[in-house]
């Protein structure tokens, strides 16, 4: 039976990140994806020019309508935008999708530097971490969640430990934003009280948009297909590295992933 993924995230009309790349990733993984849109961005491959949050009652309606019908195998969460959205998603999933594993990509700032989470909502996002099976911050987001600075892999380990103490089961810190001269990027997973490091050869493309969204979606699909977290991450890493090598420029800004 085909596995069913619920994606709860923001729309990126350029197709490089957000719901659009999540759906493409899920399709490339031969899973069925449904999508609840938390917010709309006006965005191209260079910048985000506006963000529109539909009324919370409508978000609630999307979630209630969908969850009264479909039983999902996994839920992938991306951009939430503000505290009201976090509260609505968190409470609804507690009530209506209690035992479905949540992969939470703690989206805060886009590669372009545009802010995707209201700064007053950090405490709410931290609370939501407790409900998640896996959280996938990049180094910048991990610094905020763990309330410490990260300069190297040893700091990544400390930060992952602190984030796990917020109450989630597993933590993946993506090392791509770590300032280093190394030829590799280290992604660090804390799972079952063990640290697993996955090294990826650095690919020399300055700006790629949507890799974080796609990585979390690929992990979610692999988990839905019954892989354990480590295998799910290893496979997703391979998938994203391969897609990065084949990334394309569709506009004047960042490269984007092509999923087929
Ligand atoms: N737009 C939306 C709707 C997103 O969800 C995200 C990331 O999650 C982005 C933009 C930013 O993607 P990136 O940081 O790869 O540019």
Q: pLDDT, tens digit, for every residue of 3-22?
A: 999 999 999 999 999 999 99
Pocket lining: 17 vs ligand 1, CB cutoff 6 Å = yes
What is the Cα–Cα distance from 65 to 55, expressed in whole angstroms? Answer: 16
The pLDDT confidence band at residue 67, using thresholds 50, 70 and 90, is very high
**Residue 180: pLDDT over 70:** no
Percentage above 90 pLDDT, the chain: 89
- Per the CB < 8 A criterion, the answer to whether 195 and 164 are in contact is no
What's the pLDDT at 181? 59
Q: Is the CB of 6 inside a 6 Å radius of any atom of ligand 1?
A: no
**Which one of 14, 18, 257 would you pick to mutate in the ligand 1 pocket, going by the greatest count of ligand atoms within 8 A of its CB?**
18
Least confident span in 37-46, 82-91, 106-115, 117-126: 106-115
If you take atom 11 of ligand 1, which residue's CA is the nearest one? 110
As a whole number, the mean pLDDT across the chain is 95
Provide the pLDDT for residue 204: 73
Residue of higher predicted confidence among 201 and 204: 201
Token pair 């569709």 in the structure block, residue: 250
What is the longest distance spanned by two Cα atoms in the chain? 50
Q: Which of 110, 125, 214, 247 to mutate to test ligand 1, by most ligand atoms within 8 A of the CB atom?
A: 110
Q: Looking at residue 202, what is its pLDDT? A: 78
What residue's CA is closest to ligand 1, atom 4? 18
CA of 15 to the centre of ligand 1 (A): 10
Assign 183 a pLDDT band (cuts: 50, 70, 90).
confident
pLDDT digits (tens, 9 = 90+) for 94-149: 999 999 999 999 999 988 888 999 999 999 999 999 999 999 999 999 999 999 99
With 80 as the cut, is the pLDDT of residue 45 above it?
yes
CB of residue 177 inside a 6 A radius of ligand 1: no
Rounded distance between C-alpha atoms, residue 217 and residue 1, angstroms: 19
Tens digit of each residue's pLDDT (9 = 90 or more) over 205-242: 778 999 999 999 999 999 999 999 999 999 999 999 99
Residue 137, ligand 1, Cβ within 6 A: no
Closest CA to 148 of 163, 136, 159: 159
Q: Which residue has the tokens 């999708």?
A: 97
Ligand 1 centroid to 1 CA: how many Å?
31
pLDDT value of residue 114? 87
d(CA 242, CA 236): 10
Of 77-86, 147-156, 192-201, the poorest mean pLDDT is in 192-201
Q: Which atom of ligand 1 is nearest to the CA of 79?
A: 5
């Amino acid at each position: 039976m085909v596995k069913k993924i619920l994606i709860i995230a923001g729309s990126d009309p350029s197709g490089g990140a957000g719901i659009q790349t999540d759906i493409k990733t899920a399709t490339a993984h031969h899973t069925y994806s449904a999508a609840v849109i938390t917010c709309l961005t006006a965005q191209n491959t260079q910048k985000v020019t506006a963000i529109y949050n539909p009324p919370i009652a409508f978000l609630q309606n999307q979630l209630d309508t969908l969850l009264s019908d479909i039983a999902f195998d996994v839920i992938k969460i991306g951009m939430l935008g503000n505290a009201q959205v976090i509260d609505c998603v968190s409470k609804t999933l507690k009530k209506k999708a209690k035992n479905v594993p949540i992969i939470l990509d703690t989206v805060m700032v886009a590669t372009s530097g545009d802010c995707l989470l209201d700064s007053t909502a950090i405490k709410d996002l931290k609370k939501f971490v407790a409900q998640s099976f896996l959280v996938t911050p990049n180094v910048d987001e991990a610094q905020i969640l763990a309330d410490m600075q990260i300069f190297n892999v040893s700091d990544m380990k400390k930060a992952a430990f602190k984030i796990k103490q917020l109450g989630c089961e597993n933590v993946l810190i993506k090392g791509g934003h770590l300032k280093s001269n190394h030829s590799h990027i280290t992604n660090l997973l804390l799972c079952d009280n063990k640290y697993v490091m996955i090294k990826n050869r650095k690919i020399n493309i300055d700006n790629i948009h949507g890799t974080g969204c796609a990585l979390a979606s690929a992990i979610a699909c692999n988990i839905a297909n019954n892989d354990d977290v480590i295998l799910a991450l290893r496979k997703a890493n391979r998938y994203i590295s391969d897609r990065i090598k084949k990334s394309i420029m569709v506009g004047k800004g960042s490269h984007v992933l092509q999923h087929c």
